[in-house]
Structure 1
């Protein structure tokens, strides 16, 4: 169970009641709005509105009029137009949206998406030369181009006109194109600067066509797909585009999207932003990661149903291949970690491997970052000795600054605080590892690395009704800056724990003052829990309605669980007894028996350590280890019995252990033959006290 720091908002109760009355909504919904700083009905209506009237005039964007003129001129002259895209979901949907529109408008239009593996991100000189050689006379970039000054200068020198549409941050000096559409450029007064690349391309289409409503009906599904997948804020115009797009997606006319939904098992299902994030986006991104982004682009552009079926199947196959490749790299990385990473001491992971697939190491970085709770950099070394790396960070550790401190070792690097990429010569990798780990040691504490969980409000059990949960739907669609609400309830009793899917997930039965709730925790198995049946816990969760056999019930989808304060107090009482023992103080017979492990208890602790240790080491939150052993052995092993057991093993030369920053860190020692624990001083002392 991975620890998180809970940040619980405390909306004003009186304000929540007023907002609920003014908005005619459930108090639960009003509490979420209030927790997010929306405290009156006018602000709430403005935030929640999905009305098309909230879309802004596309010509309010700087250079939009120039872009429209250039493109219309090229269409009239019959010039070959190429849309230059990107290999992620945002870039692919932007490419397909614009290409489809231009073709129906009579343009001679093709697309170019760089190969992630052989070309990398963005525009290249080779691509400019190749496009001109093929007869391209107008290039329109989508989701890229805003920093490609040299490449665009070459394109114009060769004889191509260029229109840039992008949404990334701009440099001080913009490329010299015929038109530059990017709301982040200096001097642009467009009211909303958080559109995705596909959103900017959509605004260009609206300007070209003049009928925004018609363009929404036609392209909102692809626009929503790219916007959510690129993790853009789902507020303002994006909220309108995504809400429209999700409705359109359920009855999409795009046959490629139809077939992808069917192949993913989502046909005729209610679709949400989560459907995009966890079902569709991974399948589309997989094509780009594996160097086959053209498959996804062709899927969304084809008018041939048989071809769409084959392409949708191929995209799902590419996703399976991506998953296999990802797991292979993860397993290799975990093997390396057992020899290179000290969870008790290291605050950063830096690993390198020969031939690791560059398209997926970023995902593996994220998985390791989540698993170990620290920044991670993975480097793939090619046959020429060049390493290309990807990094992910956590908490307040600025990965970009860390790489900057090592810039003399790097050929190239870029990114931001939480994600970055780099290129390095193989000969410098060991030095990079040492310096990054040293930097992390001095620039972040383990407390700062703990991820935060933002909770909208505490709830009472009476609030958790089907009607109130249904009322939360007015907050949708969810996404960045409008996350699915997280609630918290304290002092729940764990009634039952049921492992699911080979213990990859777990179902919990929790009760509060006699009311029982079903809960499910994805990605956490029973073996990783820090509590047992009978424990009192605080739970953070999303809320949903579970429908089973025509019966509807409230279900908690767990985000995190922590032991309640009463459990910590109970642990402290036992720890006080243990501390008296360690200081040679007096204990009553009853107190001694509370600390004295039976032989079966010792066996249970030993088996857990041996089975769970990786390369002879085990690091577990200090309040969780005794409860995990209790769950596995079905024995009552409190924290005092656990510590006495560890002391017995330590005296016998089997282990060493220490506490550091809330963790128990155990190290197995080499030992031959059968251990004799009968000489343990702490065990004999407790036995004599227990009588």
Structure 2
């Protein structure tokens, strides 16, 4: 049974926030998430960290401005996930608005693998660019950049992944996580990095008089894409990222989203005017990611970069179809993985490494995430990568930095890892096909060093109990319109309720009528049709249910325990 823990709240921080006009209820939530200075709640575009503080952004701006003046051909090499797609679209839209001749090239997950490889460089060379621009990749592309240099192409790397021991010999590298960069927001997504480079480029062109007699490009128009990529990549929503996401959501809600983002909302049956972080993370983001997982992310990039409403709608419909196929594959893979693990007691190990030959390489990341949630262990799920290799995607829990763990495995076991990379919570690795057992043992050893038995016990952090006065639609709207996400978790509350009625809907969900203190509360529990006892301690979110244009309060139950001791 997971432990329910109440987040501590610093009273002095709450007082400072309330003194500046913050709603007292929100002030408690913000203080519980480490906000101590009212300035951290600013959401204005002017409050963003200046591009001047991002190492080499000025160098990148001069490089691009020179290329634009010389009418050189630029090619953006993107990653095949939602961050890479939005980053590519931001680059294409911004550069074209500033007069650049630019195209894009996106690797196919199944043909090319990840990043700027020598093979990708060879194919991109057919477009005859003088400058390659990587977005959301490139920091590990030592061989790829060397190949580009040999063919006479310069490379501008824009990335946010952690650098390895050797940096590529690129013309310029912009990455907030490279040594010597003092940019305070280390959690920029790939789309955030290229957006900052575009801000720097506009400033450089302004200094050169490029906009004399004509309006400057409005880069704020790209913030819907920046918000989408930032949320979809599950980077930490620090102060700077919260500004980017808040500004992007404001554009979507205000009817100013790009045609592609608007079309993706419509394909999913969601209303842009009520867009939330949830929509970006679990509705629009997965539809965009489906292209890279099952097909070709060029579909997603075109959807986000076109100004043609009809074309955007057509592409969004295709992406929606791919996402339905992805969900079907995912369900089958999760079922097969759980059958594979029926004989495994997760309590005996600190990690899981699983593989089946029929698993789809585009969906193993989602499978790893599902297994990580179920067993509360770091997990790697592997798919076949040709006859010679297995390609794995991993997800981790708090306490184990996944990319650093792979680095340690690599140092201790030379030759075991063909390549690897990633973040603290998610990473990828390729290993020889016959060495899964070796990898599992090496990864387990590292996990046991980094984690304790207590780390493997699931816990649920909550924001306390709500009074009857706060359990209403007004507070639910405040919560819905705020920005929550990775590192700044959406509020969860706890309370004891009587279960007045319950019925199964849609086979796997339960519709509930709860009571507390004489008041009734409609509620839903998704993904489980198990009956609840007469009285429960429930962890829940305050949600709003819309029916016939009217909104009403609804509790979403995420965990429950019997309120009556057994």
TM tier, smaller = 0.7 to 0.9
Provide the alpha-carbon RMSD of the alignment: 3.0
- 1:9 is aligned to 2:13: no
Deviations 1:312-333 (A, max 9, x none): 1111111122122222322332
Please show how residues 251-270 of structure 1 align to structure 2 within 5 Å: 251-252=255-256, 254-270=258-274
User: 2:361–2:384: 8 Å Cα contact kept in structure 1?
Assistant: no
1:210-609 alignment runs, 5 A limit:
210=203, 215-250=218-253, 251-252=255-256, 254-338=258-342, 340-342=343-345, 348-382=351-385, 384-394=387-397, 396=399, 401=405, 404=409, 407=413, 410-412=416-418, 414=420, 415=422, 418-430=425-437, 432=439, 447-472=454-479, 476-489=482-495, 491-502=496-507, 504-527=508-531, 531-533=532-534, 535=535, 537-548=536-547, 553-564=552-563, 567-568=564-565, 571=566
Contact 2:44 2:247 in 1 (8 A): no
Secondary structure at the counterpart of residue 150 of structure 2: helix
The residue correspondences of 1:46-85 to structure 2 (distance < 5 A) are 46-85=39-78
C-alpha separation between the residues in 2 aligned to 1:376 and 1:79?
A: 45
| Post-superposition CA distance 1:166-201 (Å, at most 9, x none) | 222234543332222222222223343322111111
- SS of the aligned residue for 1:454 comes to strand
2:33 to 36, 60, 82: 36
Q: Deviations over 1:613-649 (max 9, x none)?
A: xxxxxxxxxxxxxxxxxxxxxxxxxxxxxxxxxxxxx
Report what 2:125 is aligned to.
Answer: 132
Deviation at 1:516, TM superposition (A): 2.5
Quick check: 2:544–2:551 contact (8 Å CA) kept in 1?
A: yes
- Matched residue SS, 1:427: coil
**Contact persistence 2:230–2:241 (CA under 8 A):** yes
- Give structure 1 stretches of 5+ with no counterpart: 572-691
Matches of 1:348 and 1:98, distance apart in 2 = 39
Change in Cα spacing, 1:120 to 1:341, as seen in structure 2 (3 Å) is: same
Whole-angstrom CA distance in 1 between matches of 2:202 and 2:400 = 46
**1:103 aligned to 2:96?**
yes
Structure 1 counterpart SS, 2:9:
coil
Distance 1:473 1:418, change over 3 A: closer
Query: Residue deviations 1:5-52, cap 9 Å, x none?
Result: 222124367875x4575244544223213323445xxx23x1221112
Deviations 1:435-462 (A, max 9, x none): 7678878986665322222212333334
> Any idea what SS the aligned residue of 1:354 has?
coil
Q: Is the 8 A contact 1:348 1:376 kept in 2?
A: yes
Name which structure has the greater RCO, CA cutoff 8 Å, separation 6+.
Answer: 2
2:298 is paired with a residue of what secondary structure? helix
Q: CA deviation at 1:86?
A: 0.8
2:199 counterpart of 1:206: yes
In structure 1, the partner of 2:81 is 88
Structure 1 SS opposite 2:313: helix
CA distance in 2, matches of 1:129, 1:283: 30
Q: 1:155 to 1:286 in 2, by over 3 A?
A: same
Q: Is the 2:252–2:272 Cα contact (8 Å) retained in structure 1?
A: no
User: What's the TM-score, normalizing by structure 2?
Assistant: 0.88
Larger gyration radius, structure 1 or structure 2? 1
The answer to whether the Cα contact below 8 Å between 1:31 and 1:457 also exists between their aligned partners in 2 is no
Q: Is 59-68 or 121-130 further displaced after alignment?
A: 59-68
Q: CA deviation at 1:126?
A: 1.6
Give the 3-state SS of the residue equivalent to 1:136 in structure 2.
coil
Contact 1:67 1:179 (C-alpha < 8 Å) held by counterparts: yes
TM-score of the superposed pair, with normalisation by structure 1? 0.73
Total equivalences in the alignment: 551
- Change beyond 3 A, Cα 1:163–1:379: closer
1:374-396 Cα distance to aligned partner (Å, 9 max, x none): 44332223552532223333454
Kindly state the Cα deviation for residue 293 of structure 1 after the two structures are TM-superposed: 0.5
State the partner residue of 2:211.
none
Verify the 8 A CA contact 1:26 1:468 in the aligned structure 2. Answer: no
TM-aligned CA distance change 1:342 to 1:457, over 3 Å: closer
1:670-685 equivalences in 2 (<5 Å): none
Q: Deviations over 1:410-446 (max 9, x none)?
A: 3435356644433333333345556767887898666
Report the Cα distance in structure 1 between the residues aligned to 2:466 and 2:142, rounded to whole angstroms: 54
Cα distance per residue 1:324-350 (max 9 Å; x no partner):
222232233233334x42467566543
Pick closer, same or farther for the CA change 1:216–1:484 going to 2, 3 Å. farther
CA contact (8 A) 1:10 1:457 kept: no
Q: In structure 2, do the counterparts of structure 1 residues 390 and 74 end up closer, same or farther at CA, with 3 Å as the change threshold?
A: same
Greater Cα offset, 492-501 or 240-249 = 492-501
The reply on whether 1:197 has 2:201 as its aligned counterpart is no
Gaps of 5+ in 2: 207-214
